């Protein structure tokens, strides 16, 4: 009888010691992945094509903000970026700030690389749930990205 109680106590202590460490690690991992998943939901990507050939790409991350519409935009293009212009639903920016690759704000960007140039673009708050962000590089190319403030199934009829 004493052997059975002793064996049960050893097994219980072993299981209790292992599970508490694993649970904390699993919860931290889940929270990190949930944040990344929410960022990916707010990310959009388009390619830049000329004469049927891909010459670059643009990634954009819509950032939730109470006062403004903010986007982190990464642009990679083979040609030099000249007269880069941003517009949201036809309206000009309040502020455009080019970010260094080491900027802490880029940690939010799920699709980041060292060859792109990154910008934080700020606009006046929009009342629309669906927004069109236009990125124009002089007369060379123009691209449109569509972002949604709410899940896409709420925008469809």
Cβ contact 123:69 at 8 Å: yes
When pLDDT is averaged across residues 122-150 and rounded to a whole number, the result is 88
Model confidence at 123, pLDDT cuts 50, 70, 90, reads very high
- Positions of E strands within the chain: 43-50, 53-63, 68-77, 84-88, 91-92, 95-99, 117-124, 130-137, 141-148
Domains of the chain, residue spans = 1-41, 43-155
Distance CA 54, CA 76 (A): 11
User: How many Cα neighbours within 13 Å face the side chain of 16?
Assistant: 6
Distance CA 129, CA 149 (A): 5
- The CATH number of 43-155, from 1.20.58, 3.30.70, 1.10.357, 2.60.40, is 2.60.40
- Round to the nearest angstrom and report the end-to-end CA distance of the chain: 69
Q: What pLDDT does 34 receive?
A: 55
Query: Cβ–Cβ contacts within 10 Å for residue 109, how many?
Result: 20
Model confidence at 86, pLDDT cuts 50, 70, 90, reads very high
Model confidence at 106, pLDDT cuts 50, 70, 90, reads confident
How confident is the model over 6-65, as pLDDT tens digits?
777 666 666 666 555 555 665 565 555 555 656 667 778 888 888 888 888 999 988 888
Residue 87 scores a pLDDT above 90: yes
């Amino acid at each position: 009888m004493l052997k059975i109680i002793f064996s049960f106590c050893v097994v219980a202590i072993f299981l209790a010691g292992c599970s508490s460490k694993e649970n904390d690690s699993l919860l931290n991992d889940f929270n990190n992945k949930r944040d990344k998943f929410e960022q990916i939901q707010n990310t959009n990507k388009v390619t830049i094509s000329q004469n049927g050939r891909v010459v670059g790409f643009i990634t954009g991350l819509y950032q939730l903000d109470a006062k403004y519409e903010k986007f982190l935009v990464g642009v990679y293009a083979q040609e030099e970026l000249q007269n880069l212009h941003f517009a949201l639903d036809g309206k000009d920016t309040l502020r455009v700030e080019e970010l260094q690759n080491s900027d802490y704000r880029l940690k939010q960007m799920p699709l980041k690389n060292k060859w792109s140039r990154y910008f934080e673009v700020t606009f006046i708050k929009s009342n629309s749930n669906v927004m069109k962000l236009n990125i124009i590089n002089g007369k060379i190319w123009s691209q449109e990205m569509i972002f949604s403030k709410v899940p896409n199934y709420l925008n469809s009829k």
